[in-house]
Amino acid sequence: MYLIFMYHFLKSFFRYSLKPHASSKEHDSTKNGGVPKLGEIYLQLFYTADHILPLKIYQSLYKNLISSLSLQPFCSSLVGILEYLPSIDLTSVARPLMKVFISAEEFSSLLRIFGSQDIQNCSDVNTLFRSQSMTSKIIYEEMKFLGQNYLSISLKPVIDMIYSQKKCCEVDPTKLRSGDKLEDNKFNLIFYGEMAFSGMVESYQKCPALLRRTFADLRELVAQQYPDRTDLQRLAVSSFIVLRFFAAAVMNPKLFGLKGEQPDAVTSRTLVLVSKILQRASNSAVSERALNSKEPWLSSVLERKERRKESKNEISEVHILDDEKRKGEIDLHEITRIEPVRNVKNVFRIATSNYELLLQAKNSNEMNEWLVQLQLQTQGRVKKEREERSDNDQSSDTGSSCLLDSLDDFSLYDIDTERELETLHLTLYEHAETLKIWKNILEDIEVPSEHPSLPDIVLEQVKLILKGACDPAVAKEQFLSMIQEVLLGIIRIESAHREAVDRFIKQMRGSKGSQDLFTGDDNYLLLQSRFQGNIE
């Protein structure tokens, strides 16, 4: 199997003539026997080819990633190496790492390792988890990946209202326009701010189970280090769920998929002010201190905050809801039919060979969401089983099932493990020269001074600056062994890519009509350009 996804790579220009739709009779009746031109349009197209190999090709990479959880020191593991590569874009590493470890059901273990490092290295508890560390990146990516529906339920109603009403909410006297009434603007802001705060607090039951586990892990990690600081435990959670998720989504709804267009100036200012309210309310709630006096005009928005204190911890608790009862489970492979029931409002049928189950949703949107999710999961299960049989892979699925009373199971999220592993492979491939330099340093081979040295944290372990942390010889040998294994894995995966691209190009050249394809025959040669370098 060799999958190719096309987008954003090679730039080409095409010119098309714009013509009206016309039937054959209309075409014949036009002057000069042709359809009149309406004009011309120039299209500038970009595309790339992402090459995804079968999962078995990435098995070594996958094994080293998962084994990182048990290796000591952590910096000598593959995940540690990825974190400490120089000039690395943490987002490009955090996103695929998050998805790979969620699919492996090991995300909580990974988070605990990164989180413990951040807590130990934090010099100011007031800035805990506020830096751009790997911990903050993987949790941010997890929230965006898992929390889209949760975010929509919580904030989309108020954001849609702000977009449609376009009411002025400016309460800074220095920024009031002529004709603006401060009291009216203040009332508008209080209303929007209260609505946003209520949506954020009262929707905690909709928070995905995996995110609840993440926030619970954060609180537990902080509690282990600061057992008497419950405010820090709340701060750890609010730093993510409020500052990086809710408040950030209010400030930029398009980025978080809540709106399709950018707001106008008035709406944008309102969103900024509402976002400030959420941030200040959160900071005041978790620290139990008064609102920052440098923005006293926000205080009136938080007058009702005291009545909501009992809800502030709910978001980070992992529990079974009072109305959450286990209805049973159905294995995906047992489902034979999923369809709406005719002439019955919002009712759909899930059928197996032995029985039928009728479920009624609250509305048509909820029913459609159930139908789509169940269809995706059953189709994904069939596809996975086919691939496992074709690869003669004896490692079977451990019987994943779809719980009909919950949409929080990790298997319901669309994770293409092969694609995420390919992304991580590309990162390692791009830094192969750095890895070779580190290998030479560990082997005591002299390297030019302009080349990157070992990261400080690795030097601390290898040179035993942190006395008693571990045996320096063992740490050095373990780090060297992992780098050698990573370099060997890069070569193997690149060789598999090269073979697959060669086969692909031969097939395309030999197929009928390949010369007329959109990319042109010559452009397929560009697919080989990545493999011209030598990393051995």
**What is the tens place of the pLDDT at every residue in 433-471?**
989 888 888 787 665 565 556 666 666 655 543 444 556
**What is the tens place of the pLDDT at every residue in 104-150?**
999 999 999 999 988 888 777 777 777 788 999 999 999 999 999 99
Which range is least confidently modeled, 48-62, 347-361, 382-396? 382-396
Task: Say yes or no to pLDDT of 170 above 50.
Answer: yes
**What is the tens place of the pLDDT at every residue in 197-250?**
888 888 888 899 999 999 999 999 999 988 888 888 888 888 889 989 999 999
Dist CA 76 CA 483 (whole Å): 8
User: Structural domains in the chain?
Assistant: 46-86+417-510 (no CATH), 89-310 (1.10.506.10), 332-387 (no CATH)
Alpha helices by DSSP H, 317-431: 364-390, 417-430
Angle formed at CA 418 by CA 113 and CA 431, multiple of 5 degrees: 65
The per-residue pLDDT for 298 is 63
DSSP 305: G
Which range is least confidently modeled, 49-58, 333-342, 503-512? 503-512
The per-residue pLDDT for 460 is 61
Task: Say yes or no to pLDDT of 395 above 90.
Answer: no
The owner of tokens 């493999």 is 531
Q: First vs last Cα of the chain: how many Å apart?
A: 26
DSSP 309: G
The owner of tokens 């001074």 is 449
**What is the tens place of the pLDDT at every residue in 256-268?**
999 989 999 999 9
Which range is least confidently modeled, 64-78, 239-253, 294-308, 365-379? 294-308
- For residue 126, the Cα-to-chain-centroid distance in whole angstroms is 27
Report which of residues 100 and 181 the model is more confident about.
100
- For residue 308, the Cα-to-chain-centroid distance in whole angstroms is 30
User: Looking at residues 389-415, what average pLDDT do you find?
Assistant: 47
Dist CA 284 CA 231 (whole Å): 10
The per-residue pLDDT for 118 is 85
The per-residue pLDDT for 441 is 81
Which range is least confidently modeled, 157-166, 335-344, 354-363, 511-520? 511-520
Task: Say yes or no to pLDDT of 100 above 60.
Answer: yes
User: Looking at residues 463-481, what average pLDDT do you find?
Assistant: 64
Closest CA to 360 of 332, 378, 374, 341: 341
Percent of the chain with pLDDT over 90: 27
Report which of residues 412 and 419 the model is more confident about.
419
Alpha helices by DSSP H, 148-208: 148-165, 182-202
